Chains A and B, each alone.
Chain A
Amino acid sequence: MGSCDPVLLGCLLTVFLPLSAFALIMIFTWRYHKLSMAISLVASTIPLLIAWYFFFTLDVKQPIIYNFNWLVSDQVKVPFGFLLDPTSVLMFVIVATISWLVQIYSIGYMGGDPGFGRYYADLSLFALAMLGLVISSGLLQLYIFWELVGLASYLLIGFWYEKFSASEAGKKAFVVTRFGDIGFFMGLVFLTLYFGSLDIATVNSAALTAKMPPWLITTSALLIFCGIMGKSAQFPIHVWLPDAMEGPTPVSALLHSATMVAAGVFLLTRLFPLFAASATAMSVVLVISTITLLLSSTIGMVATDIKQVWAYSTVSQLGFMAMGLSAAGLAAGTLFPGYYHLTTHAAFKALLFLCSGVFIHHFGTNDFFVMATQGGRKLLIPMATITIAALALAGIFPFAGFFSKEAILGALAHLPNKMWLVLGLFGAFLTAYYAFRVIFVMLFPKEKYDKYHLETDPHAHAPAHSHGHGPGPGFTHDDAHIHPDAKPGHEHDESGHGAGHGHDEPHGVPWVMSFPLLVLAGFTLILGFCQGSLEKYLLGESAPHHIEYGLLVSAVSCAFGGIALAWFDWGRRGAKCVGFISYVPVLENFFIQKWYMDHFWRWFLNTFIYGIFSRAFTYNDRRVVDGGVDAVAFSTVGSGRLLSFIQTAFLQYNLLFMVLVLAGVGIYLLMGR
């Protein structure tokens, strides 16, 4: 473990470069946009190179572990270190790549924003936290970075903090994920108390060799899963993720679809042996993830905001990954299907978001019906790439999603109860439907969309820039670059991009924005064919693939069924342009209201948190704590007042007092001898 070990140096650079970039920008250079961007880019390019270098050249069949003592207090030793094994290196590559692409993309997307420097500082903070999370060797360290990721997410969602809904969404995301993290932390405490180590490798091997009692495995796994539910937006605390779309679209691509929300699933794979050792925990995961998959797919069917659609799609795909992992855990499978889907999903979902970002940037609206009517399909590159991504999402050969979905469905098929497989297939069907609803609407715009097309006219945004930023330097038009960023489920109340985006012309797509699209589209195309080699990389051997034709056929037919239905509803000439679901208005309303989950939480908060706990604690605070403190304070002051009477102006009494006290002390000494 020499100090000149290049691998260790690489790990250290990965963590410290973004950290110093963040500090440098925040303290010194945030005023200078170009300089800040350059610093941040340098600090993300080097980790990118390191990541790919590790991926291709480093032999991590035997995990490489570095541990340093960070905190030593008596018995408690908190190590700080790095763990490089296939699981972490692959995630390292994913995070570094997408992070880098998004930083490139943001040059175009965020150009001219007054908070440009701050934006790049936040991205660097995120890179630091996420990369640190991925290569953590211990769970406590992972937890610290986990929270840092949450902080970066909070900062980036509320990036346009002048907008009330954005800062609200940031708060919601932070609080809700923290809610889950309480469970996570309790799990860590449990492990520390009853097992004594938080080292990932130790925990996993102990779970594998059954050194831990089953109750401990189940309890800690379930508690840690609470954190995963928060971070990966699993039912019922998924509600923060759709709101998180208030952030800039590249942020949504990076944090809220490809990498950060996948951190939950990553943790699941990281601790896969632990989870797999407890059938109870895995069953809970399976149930919750299945509910998540179905719930969010159905909401995705009715959303009109393009980012909302992809947000719910993200939630559902995360559920799908968790399903794959839990099914594998229950049926003695490997972590490969779920992790593979995480990888492909990172590529195509980031692509979906970045493409949508181009449209949003171009048309100044989030409503894809509006985009369609204004000629969204004329933007060739994003339209082509978004279609590729949607095909991948739907699971169509030869795109990446096809292979990974197939793998997960294969894992589900191994379960004795085939209901899960059916539900998974149903989820795939819904996924194909909502993905192609967007695509067909955009590709084949109709004259009018009465049902969903809300009466907003994008040209009537007079007050759009009244948000306190002066118009940007080249600002001349009112019509372009307005991000409605509608609060989900509300009218599209337009508010400014948060920035005086100043361009004179409705521009074409700048290369900094189209380049990442093309790269990601390339990944989406080739990742599917890397299945074998990736599996070999992850697991050490590639299991022979015997193709189950029945499963293959049903999966593909589900996907095509979904697409066909979407075509029937939205694409074909003379389509009614209403979803099939509107024939069941009750159900449709139920979906539009997002299964009343927001209402449920509001009610829950009002009744239990505010109504009972807050009331009780406020009472306790007012009466007991404040009252107690006040009583102490008043009695202290009062005794001071009382004692100050000793201090009289009568000198003779003072002297008498002195003599008496001294005499008393003298007597005490003599008596007590």
Chain B
Amino acid sequence: MNVLLFGPELYFLGAALIFFSLTLKRKVQVKADYRIALALAAGGVAVSVLCLFQQGELFFKAYKVDLFSQIFKFALALGFFLVITISHNLAQIEERYHAEFYLFLTTTTIGMMMLVSAVELLTIYVALELSSYSLYILVPLRRGDGIDVEAGIKYLFIGAVSSGFMLFGLSYIFGATHSTYLTEIMPKMAQLVQSPIGVLGLLFSLAGFFFKLSVFPFHFWAPDVYQGAANQVTTFIATASKAAAVAVLLRLVALGSSYGYNFTQVLVMLSIISMTLGNLVAIVQKDFKRMLAYSSIAHAGVFLMGVLTIKEAGYIGAVYYALAYLVMNFTVFMVLSEVAKDGRDLKIVELAGLWKRSPILGLSLILGIFALAGVPPSIGFTGKLLIFTSAMNQGYFWLVLIGAVNGTISLYYYLRVVYAAFFMDPGDLPPVTVSFPTRLLNYALVAIIIGFGVFPDQIVRLAQAAVKTVL
């Protein structure tokens, strides 16, 4: 067994230990802790890059290291790093809990990293729960007036119910196939989905990931958690956690390329309902984070569209879009947490005149929003294009049509944000000062959103290579 294959996870485990020791300190040193966290996060990105092209199996083949998993580990490490960069003022979290914040953020990252590599049912389940439990703690960490508690409870309960379903489903699959290894289950699935036990097992086991991805009907937690959690926590949930969920969903759904008509139909329906519901309800939201929560529900539908094709093209699209979504969603959340420096929940109208108050944030916001809306030439457009094209080629005409209509509907609320930031009078809202590192971050994000939108070839090729190891 080559320990180095476990590199990123080990690194983050070590980081978790360091953070754990920080939590034990009696004297709170916010600044120093932050510096350590930033350094460790940056190191995490470096380690995950170094481990990008590793291959192998670990832990009695329950754990598979391939390009696919390593790309997502890189994405997770990047997401972690990005969240840390905007955590320099954790106004919403009490100072003595800052170290805990870092600790649990690290453990949830470890959980997700293991999740994307796990190819055995129990490992998947344990990894999922590891990441979920950390988030259950992180969500109510915000100091507040009870909204955090409500969000935390809601998150926990819905998570628990979907976990229950998932376990139930996994047990069916295990019962039917007498194996917990995906590689062994895979050949038997084609036959299994013909029987009730197989169908229900599959459906229920997907529930856990639908929950993470906030696909209808497991979406109820999203608005409350997005609003109730601290901005940084929400950012992590909205970016890294989604990427991990997409990764596992790709692995699981790839199990049975012969699901049969009905099962695909169910996925199509869930995708359509998620998109439509998310977009329609987002229109009436006034709180920026709540709006983004519904936008994430809508995006879950888009991801599902890429997944359900169970073809290489769709998977490439989904991987590309997961990476793109991480960047563009982060961009928007970064602007949000920069504008709401005191950690309050930002109303959309509070973005009024942002381009005057901080031109660079205005630029990032408009690009991030346009990328989310899928406006060319951003990465969001390219990702959507890849997914829609593959779905179209698979003959899901109506799904694509509804997706396109939904894209139009989504413009309504995305453009409301742009309208607020660029056309509304700032009134007496104060200017936003942006520190130099944040400025650099802004430039980098802008460059990525445009650059990889115009020249997506590299990423697509990487995604192609990654997907080959899954399908």
Residues of A within 8 A of B (CB): 633, 636-637, 639-641, 643-644, 646-647, 649, 651, 654-655, 657-659, 661-662, 665-666, 668-670, 672-673
Contact = CB atoms under 8 A, between A and B. Distances in A.
B157 A665 contact: no
Contacts of A673: 194, 196, 199, 260, 262
18 contacts: A633-B412, A637-B412, A640-B280, A644-B281, A651-B154, A651-B157, A655-B157, A655-B161, A657-B217, A658-B162, A659-B161, A662-B165, A662-B203, A665-B203, A670-B199, A672-B262, A673-B196, A673-B262
Of listed A647, A661, A668, A672, residue having the most chain B CB within 10 A: A647
B284 A644 contact: yes
B266 interface: yes
Given A662-B203, A669-B199, A673-B260, 19 more contacts: A633-B412, A636-B280, A636-B412, A637-B412, A639-B280, A640-B283, A643-B277, A644-B284, A651-B157, A654-B154, A657-B217, A658-B158, A658-B218, A659-B161, A665-B203, A666-B199, A669-B266, A673-B194, A673-B262
A289 B166 CA distance: 85
Interface string B158-202: 100110010000000000000000000000000000101001100
Q: Which of B153, B199, B204, B285 has the most CB of A within 10 A?
A: B199
Contacts of A641: 284
* Across the A-B interface, the 6 shortest Cβ-Cβ residue pairs: A640-B280, A661-B217, A640-B283, A654-B220, A640-B284, A644-B281
B150 interface: yes
Contacts of B285: 644
A673 B203 CA distance: 14
Contacts of B412: 633, 636-637
A662 B217 contact: yes
B122 interface: no
Nearest to A666: B200
B282 interface: yes
Given A658-B158, A658-B161, A665 B266 contact: yes
B150 A649 contact: yes
A125 to B, nearest CB: 28
A223 B397 CA distance: 41
Contacts of A661: 216-217
Nearest to B270: A665
A647 B284 contact: no
Contacts of A657: 217, 220
B203 A666 contact: yes
B301 interface: no
B79 interface: no
B223 interface: yes
B409 interface: yes
B220 A647 contact: yes
B67 interface: no
A643 B281 CA distance: 6
Q: Which of B200, B203, B280 has the most CB of A within 10 A?
A: B280
B281 A640 contact: yes
Nearest to A672: B262
B227 to A, nearest CB: 11
Contacts of B196: 670, 673
A661 B273 CA distance: 12
B401 to A, nearest CB: 16
Given A662-B203, A669-B199, A655 B158 contact: yes
Contacts of A655: 157-158, 161
A662 B207 contact: yes
Given A662-B203, A662-B204, A669-B266, A647 B223 contact: yes
B419 interface: no
Interface string B233-264: 00000000000000000000000000010110
Interface residues of B, number: 34
A195 B416 CA distance: 50
Contacts of A654: 154, 158, 220
A311 B324 CA distance: 61
A669 B200 contact: yes
A665 B218 CA distance: 13
Contacts of A666: 199-200, 203-204
Contacts of A644: 281, 284-285
A197 to B, nearest CB: 34
Nearest to A637: B283
Contacts of B279: 640
B152 to A, nearest CB: 12
B414 to A, nearest CB: 14
A671 to B, nearest CB: 9
A643 B262 contact: no
Contacts of A636: 280, 283, 409, 412
B322 to A, nearest CB: 24
Contact of A669 (B161, B203, B277): B203
Contacts of B223: 647
A644 B223 CA distance: 11
Contacts of B158: 651, 654-655, 658
B125 to A, nearest CB: 18
Contact of B284 (A633, A637, A665, A669): A637
A633 B408 CA distance: 11
B262 A640 contact: no
Contacts of A669: 199-200, 203, 262-263, 266
Interface in B279-331: 279-285
A563 B255 CA distance: 98
A612 B178 CA distance: 79
Interface centre among A640, A657, A670 (most CB of B within 10 A): A640
A520 B260 CA distance: 84
A655 B153 CA distance: 12
Contacts of A649: 150
A628 to B, nearest CB: 14
Nearest to B196: A670
B286 to A, nearest CB: 11
A668 B283 contact: no
A484 B260 CA distance: 82
A638 to B, nearest CB: 9
A570 B406 CA distance: 77
A640 B217 CA distance: 16
A659 B282 CA distance: 24
B291 to A, nearest CB: 11
B199 to A, nearest CB: 5
A637 B218 CA distance: 23
Highest count of chain A CB atoms <10 Å: which of B154, B157, B196, B281: B281
Contacts of B157: 651, 655
Nearest to B269: A665
A662 B262 CA distance: 15
Nearest to A665: B266
Contacts of B217: 657-658, 661-662
Which of B157, B199, B277, B284 neighbours the largest number of chain A CB atoms within 10 Å of its CB? B284
Contacts of B280: 636, 639-640, 643
Interface in B202-233: 203-204, 207, 216-218, 220, 223
A640 B279 CA distance: 8
Contact of B266 (A643, A658, A668): A668
A655 B154 CA distance: 10
Nearest to A659: B161
A407 B260 CA distance: 84
A474 to B, nearest CB: 42
A12 B45 CA distance: 52
B284 A670 contact: no
Contacts of A670: 196, 199-200
Given A651-B157, A666-B200, A670-B200, A658 B150 contact: no
A654 B217 CA distance: 9
Contacts of A672: 262
A673 B157 CA distance: 32
Contacts of B154: 651, 654
A655 B221 CA distance: 10
Contacts of B153: 651
A637 B204 CA distance: 33
